[in-house]
Structure 1
Amino acid sequence: MTTGILVLAATPIGDPNDAAPRLAVELTKANVVAAEDTRRLKRLTSALGITPGGSIVSYHEHNEAARTPELVERLTAGERVVVVTDAGMPSVSDPGYRLVVAAVAAGIRVTCVPGPSAVLMALAVSGLPVDRFCFDGFLPRKAGERARQLAELADERRTMVFFEAPHRLDDTLAAMAQAFGAERPAAVCRELTKTYEEVRRGGLAELADWAAEGVRGEITIVVAGAPREVGTVDDALDGIRSRVATGERLKDVCADVASRTGLSKKALYDAAIAARG
């Protein structure tokens, strides 16, 4: 029996003209379209001038667990299932991941229609380093949990990307300033590709003060990674000795210090051995 195919289809994050040509093709030939919001799907297909060829079902965070087995059953029966969310790529901070896992477990082919991405666009326009980055999605809503997660990221040297709701933006930026430092460079990207698109750049504390006045729209935050520590091999020796005295392996400590400072791992190790003598 021929199995179906699961298609994760990226949708525009604002301007419908950004839709990939293949999106319209997939929507018209799908046996079933699973949409996060069927009303938004209707507006999108109207803008694209198309009519979905198959049935349309809702697929969102509140019914994802219950609807996934039904969709897997249709996939194993040979149908083509297209998943769309309100904006961007399904499964990236949106419904879809659960279905992907189930489809892979069932041996069903999974592919996607590439398209607009708020993460990549925000990185590109932020003015911050883009050679290495990480995406952390939405931070916890509770202040204590958010502070703990940010503390874990305080030494992250890659550029970091987050999503946030507009009414929590000022609190989140203030928490980031507390965890990362008031002057850590960042960019708040608002309403990307839409009429009132705005990119606000500055230190975290400055951005938190700006956001306190009230901000609307879809928000993506980009934060610079932690800067390398500056110092010499001699400056690092006391810290290395202290960590080794607590039971850490010298090689591991030297590797960690080298990664954080840019100093030579061999030079640190040799200096620590010489200091023992």
Structure 2
Amino acid sequence: MSQLNVGTLNVGTTTFTGDSSTLNSAPASSLTEMLTGTPSTNHSIMWNGSAWVPQLMTGRLLGVNVYTSQDGTWNSNSTSSGSGTWTKPSGCSNVLVYVTGGGGGARINDNSYRGAGGGGGGTAIKWIDVSAVSSVSYTYGGGGDYSRNGGRGSTGGTSSFGSYCTANGGQGGQTDNPYQGGPGGNASGGDINLPGGGGEMAHGADREGGAGSSFWHKPGSSHHYANNQEQITHGQWGSGGGYGYYSQNDYAYNNSRGGAGCVIVYNYS
């Protein structure tokens, strides 16, 4: 015979009291006999004031989906766009989505100290109830190309998560009229909509044109384009392309593009 020594024990609506007394029998032989309802996956047991009932647990992070052509290295220089379909994982009821547009490209010039960085892509952040949804299409925008010796750098591509939220790419830099770094992209549909940072305009000797930031990344700038360390000026994760003091070599051109955008989905129960 099992024994339980208790002072005061509350089980369901029954109270057992006693000072070091011995309770020889319990009102239920197992926990399920005390429940009202049947628990299943992702349920906990809660007391509602009159009975023990299964309660669905919500808000638990189930996993993260990252959609982009970028990687985690400092010299990643991907400008590629992409698209696909997010499929709801088992047990998922809500998602927190970050959508960032592509960065704009820089304007660079041969034999000139003047340059202008591209703008960063905008970012939309949104909490979405997906309990009645099975899948959502997504697109992440590509990075804008640089412009050499004329015109404006290209605008970054637009990113979206279904019809829920959209983030536009940053515009390219321009060293002719209106002489400006690229404006950042806007965002819409999110609970929070953040514009991308604007690019900088360099006008005169011994100056560099920095690029606009995205929510995720701020590219650097460099005085001399002499080796592959100049990849710090390339846009990443939606930031714009930067510009260095000397642009007359391949490193300058290859690293003045905006970075590809991204769509990141946090899946919650």
Compute the TM-score of the two structures, normalised by the length of structure 2: 0.22
Higher share of residues assigned strand: 2
Q: Which has the larger radius of gyration?
A: 2
- TM-score of the superposition, structure 1-length normalised? 0.22
Quick check: which one's helix share is greater? 1
Higher relative contact order (CA 8 A, sep 6+): 2
